[in-house]
Amino acid sequence: MIVDTMKVYVAVVEQRNFSRAAELLHLSQPGVSQHIRNLEQEFGVQLIHRSPKHVKLTEAGEILYKHAKEMIARYEAAREDIGLLRDEVTGSLRIGASFTIGEYILPRIVASFARQYPSVDVQVTVANTEQIAQSVRANELDIGLVEGKIEYTDLQLGTPFMEDEMVLVVPPNHSFASMPTIEPRMLHDEVWVLREQGSGTRAYSDQFMSDLKLHIKRSYVFNSSQSVKEAVMAGLGIAMLSYWVIRKEQEHGDLRLVHVKGKSVKRAFHILQDNNASATMAMTMFIDQVRHFQMR
């Protein structure tokens, strides 16, 4: 179907890379390349300048990208309208989530949604809060689920759908492990394991340390909460992480949760949308699913 080829083309353009597009679409890289060659043969022009690191559109490629996006949107709208005739929610849904939500909460939401709406094709992207916001702005994602603060006026940060608490965690052999509560001054000169800049978790960790005027002796930076958690369990340092990230390890004794006297860090998870985007039925049903979801 031509719309499938157009989806491959749009993915290559937006990912700026054949291998990333292949991974996103669960196709082989040769398969993606064949789709692009077929399009170039169909139109009789080169659409993409290829290089080992990235792709660049020709003038014809820019024109096709614009029309391909419109074609895909019209196709999805047609699928949705026809589905409504059968009282069925159809179409596709591109969901983005920050790492904490994407790795520990979103899979359960998507599983629940898929059971109720099996005809909706769901594509999930997990990245940090800033990257998710940029992808929603660029119309590469329909919905974002984030925990960080968003500064873009063209994005709408919806009502919180879940509460979260950032907690201080240490390995079982750390001197704090046997102390249910510590004084803030005891955190001076500790080695910290942090998320990267742009992460919502990093923003809250930085604010926590700034509020307590902590001196950071040394830090290690990882680009996922799972990696931070593993590093703490390996004894690399201490970290501030979402309770949802560490609750199983705490229950099993692999990590210790330590309270800091007079300091708690609460936050909320939000639904993120483009102010100017129109909501499909699939988007509306998914947002409703998120708002009524209860984590157990």
Q: What is the per-residue pLDDT across 39-63, written as a single tens digit (0 to 9) for each?
A: 999 999 999 998 777 788 999 999 9
- The CATH 1.10.10.10 portion of the chain extends over 1-86
CA distances from 103 to 96, 127, 228, 275, 276 (A): 11, 10, 13, 26, 28
> Which residue, 112, 63, 115, 118, is CA-closest to 88?
118
- By residue count, the chain amounts to 296
- The listed CATH number (1.20.120.330, 3.10.129.10, 1.10.10.10, 3.20.20.60) that belongs to domain 1-86: 1.10.10.10
Q: What is the pLDDT of residue 252?
A: 94
Angle between helix axes 281-292 and 106-116 (nearest 10 degrees) is: 120
Whether CATH 3.40.190.10 fits 163-267: yes
The runs of H, that is alpha helices, within 179-280 are: 200-211, 225-233, 243-252
In the three-class reduction of DSSP (H, G, I as helix; E, B as strand; rest coil), residue 108 is classed as helix
Distance in angstroms (rounded) separating the CA atoms of residues 1 and 8? 11
Q: What is the pLDDT of residue 68?
A: 92
Q: What is the pLDDT of residue 43?
A: 92
CA distances from 138 to 125, 239, 274 (A): 14, 33, 9
Distance in angstroms (rounded) separating the CA atoms of residues 232 and 201? 15
| Low-confidence residues of the chain: pLDDT under 50 | none
Query: What is the Cα gyration radius of the chain?
Result: 22
Q: What is the pLDDT of residue 159?
A: 77
- Stated as kind and residue range, the H or E segment containing 13 is helix 2-15
Q: What is the pLDDT of residue 296?
A: 61
Q: Is the pTM of this model over 0.75?
A: no
- The CATH 3.40.190.10 portion of the chain extends over 163-267
Q: What is the pLDDT of residue 82?
A: 80
